[in-house]
């Protein structure tokens, strides 16, 4: 799945879109957001109960730096409520696919996360989505740090499935903790 290219008719929840506006980077990215919303003929306000074109989200992300995307990804996770049964890195990562499906509509069946391997202190999985790599890295980094146990220092590694053109495909993520 090519990054930044949403399938026709794919939608993202207003709750997910609000993360951009709640980002600690919002003041620096505001001109990009306003420009993209204007191009779509939409007011620069987000209704958390509405659905927006996923390509809108991607068009904003294209204009952001790697650091801004990671920051937004971290902010999304830090601001999101999670059920109390999510109490470990493993459970948080297992929940990723459900969250992906909850906040996106009209995406292909194979869009998401797969090939999970859980060891004592290492999790590996495959990601194949259109969501930008750095935004996903922010999500995964924040989940690992939010649910680490005392004394753990999670390290998140990413290996692109297509190293010569990273945006052409997904990645393999490994979390050691």
CATH number, position 140? 3.90.1520.10
- Residue numbers of the domain that contains 50: 1-177
Q: Which two tokens stand for residue 78?
A: 């830090």
List pLDDT tens digits, range 90-131: 999 999 988 899 999 999 999 999 999 999 999 999 999 999
In terms of Cα–Cα distance, which of 145, 170, 146 is closest to 158? 170
* Beta bridge mates, 175: 123, 156
List pLDDT tens digits, range 18-52: 877 776 667 777 888 888 889 988 888 889 999 99
Angle between helices 14-22 and 66-79 in degrees, nearest 10: 120
In terms of Cα–Cα distance, which of 30, 33, 19, 120 is closest to 76? 19
61-82 average pLDDT score: 88
Q: Which run of H or E residues covers position 158?
A: strand 155-160
Answer whether residue 15 shows pLDDT above 90.
no
- Residue 133's pLDDT is 97
Give Cα separations from 41 to 13, 36, 38, 173 (angstroms).
18, 9, 5, 37
Answer whether residue 149 shows pLDDT above 90.
yes
Average model confidence (pLDDT) across the chain = 92
Answer whether residue 77 shows pLDDT above 70.
yes
Which residues are CB-contacts of 41 (< 8 A; sequence separation ≥ 6)?
none
Reported confidence tier of residue 81, pLDDT bands at 50, 70, 90: confident
Share of the chain above pLDDT 70, in %: 98
Total domains, the chain: 1
């Amino acid at each position: 799945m090519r990054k930044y290219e949403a399938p026709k008719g794919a939608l993202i929840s207003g709750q997910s879109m609000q993360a951009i506006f709640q980002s600690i980077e919002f003041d620096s990215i505001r001109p990009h957001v306003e420009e993209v919303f204007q191009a779509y003929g939409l007011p620069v306000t987000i209704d958390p109960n509405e659905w927006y074109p996923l390509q809108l989200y991607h068009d904003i992300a294209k204009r952001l730096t790697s650091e801004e995307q990671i920051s937004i990804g971290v902010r999304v996770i830090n601001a999101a409520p999670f059920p109390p049964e999510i109490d470990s890195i493993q459970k948080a990562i297992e929940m990723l696919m459900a969250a992906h499906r909850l906040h996106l509509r009209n995406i292909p069946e194979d869009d998401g996360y797969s090939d999970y391997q859980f060891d004592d202190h290492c999790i590996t999985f495959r990601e194949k989505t259109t969501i930008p790599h750095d935004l996903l890295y922010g999500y995964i980094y924040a989940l690992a740090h939010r649910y680490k146990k005392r004394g753990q220092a999670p390290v998140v590694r990413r290996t692109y499935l297509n190293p010569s053109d990273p945006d052409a495909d997904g990645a393999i993520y490994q979390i050691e903790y």
